[in-house]
Amino acid sequence: MRAYFDHNATTPPAPDVIEAVVGALRDDFGNPSSVHHFGQRAKALLDDARTAAAELIGAEPGDIVFTSGGTEADNMALRGAAEAAEAAGSRRHVIASAIEHEAVLNTVKALVRRGWTSTLLPVDASGIVAPGALAAAMTPQTAIVSVMHANNEIGTIQPIADLAAIAHEHGALFHTDAVQSVAKVPVDVRALGVDLLSLSAHKFNGPKGAGALWIRRGARIVSTMTGGKHERNRRGGTENVPGIAGLGVAARLARAKLPAESTRIAALRDRLEQGVLARVTGTAVNGDLAARVPNTTNISFDGIEAESLLIALDLEGFAVSTGSACSSGTLEPSHVLRAMGLPTHRTQNSIRFSLGLGNTDQQVDALLERLPAVVSKLRTLVRR
């Protein structure tokens, strides 16, 4: 048996999604910009997907720009807003939280390289950004604030509405990377009060290579992917029609399943978490227990290198992750856990279990049955 507990890295595409992707490849190969029948059919797929994506986040279809994924959406948001700010005036300060995904952190660094200043907001011990910290960091120079909705490693949900209000008081744009929250919790762009929001299809049973940036009407960002007049001049390049069609189907499925599925997943996650804490000594959960997405738990195992536990579990048939998939192969302690002020050993011995559609009670039972022996073997045999 193999069980997949790494849904924050990616998710298996739903059967209907696969059908939609294959169907688009096979039957609707036209260029959506073409005038003829073939183009119209492809364009119809885009329109339909745009509507589905908009419905999932409480938005208007016309404000959705399709991208190649979350990273491109984050880049488009930050670089596009920065270019607009540079054209409009003298604001050159960007604020982000210290626990952002690399897509945001490294884009902030890129802005700093071209003359911007930046501030990384601290988080508290449970991984939450305090609105007061943002208020203190705002300056008249601040053009952009970017704080993720849910964190990929620990799943904590940030008080986005409060943070966005503070940014707006100071005349700054607010972006949120909602890649890890969309389809896990209700996401409504108006309730959040943000200007820009990134999402990614493959995190909710859609295909890889498709994502979107929602841009509030009136928010000024400059297109950074220059080319043809695609996506209303906001992103050049022929659209990835199969991927976007899959995104649309995944968005509809997610919206239909969200309330019931998130309750089921939360119960499963809680059982997994409680089971690990009860059966394995020297374990502790990282991050806020209440303000978090229902599918994620991040657990530290004393006296263990996370890397070894991950491999041992994989050999037992359980796919988990250390921190984020992007940091595999490095010994860098998790920047998220470090920002929470955890001691070094706990930033290097944590495992992320992230659940999703396919997970069952039986899989959680199997994991809980094998895990104690795997952990004790590692604790006995591997000297740190």
Partner 1 sequence: MRIVVAMSGGVDSSVAAGLLAREGHEVIGLSMQLYDQQQGEVTFGSCCTIDDLHDARRAAGTIGIPHYIVNFEHKFEERVVSDFVREYAAGRTPIPCVHCNGDLKFASLVERAQAFGAEAVATGHYAQVDVDERTRRYRLKRGADPQKDQSYFLFTLSQAQLARARFPVGALSKPAVREEARRMGLTVAEKHDSQEICFVAAGEHPEFVGRRAAMPPGAIRDREGRVLGRHEGVHRFTIGQRKGLGLSTGVPLYVVDIDAASADVTVGPRDALERDTLTASRVNWISGETPPAPVRAHARIRYRHTEAPATIVPLPDDRAQVAFDSPQSAITPGQAVVFFDGDEVLGGGWID
Question: What is the binding site for partner 1 (CB under 8 A)?
Answer: 307-308, 311-312, 314-315, 328-331, 377-378, 381-383
354 dihedral zone (left: phi>0; alpha: psi -120 to 50; beta): beta
Is 326 tagged catalytic? yes
Nearest CA to 287 out of 332, 353, 331 is that of 353
d(CA 78, CA 81): 5
Nearest CA to 194 out of 9, 57, 347, 328 is that of 57
Q: Read off the tokens for 111.
A: 């802005």
Least distance (Å) between residue 312 CB and partner 1? 6
- Residue 190's Cβ-count burial label (10 Å; 0-12, 13-18, 19+) is exposed
> What DSSP string describes 211-236?
EEEEE-TT-----SS-SSSHHHHTS-
d(CA 228, CA 72): 17
The residue (of 9 and 210) whose beta carbon lies closer to partner 1 is 9
The residue (of 49 and 374) whose beta carbon lies closer to partner 1 is 374
Least distance (Å) between residue 154 CB and partner 1? 22
The residue (of 308 and 334) whose beta carbon lies closer to partner 1 is 308
The residue (of 9 and 59) whose beta carbon lies closer to partner 1 is 9
The residue (of 3 and 42) whose beta carbon lies closer to partner 1 is 3
The residue (of 192 and 310) whose beta carbon lies closer to partner 1 is 310
d(CA 180, CA 74): 13
Residues sharing a CB contact under 8 Å with residue 166, sequence separation 6 or more, in sequence order: 131, 134, 135, 138, 145
User: Hey, how many other C-beta atoms are within 10 angstroms of the C-beta on 382?
Assistant: 13
From the candidates 22, 25, 326, 382, give the one annotated as an active-site residue. 326
Least distance (Å) between residue 20 CB and partner 1? 29
User: Hey, how many other C-beta atoms are within 10 angstroms of the C-beta on 329?
Assistant: 8
Least distance (Å) between residue 190 CB and partner 1? 41
Least distance (Å) between residue 5 CB and partner 1? 17
145 in Cβ contact with 93 (< 8 Å): no
Least distance (Å) between residue 303 CB and partner 1? 12
Coil, helix or strand at residue 189: helix
Catalytic positions: 326
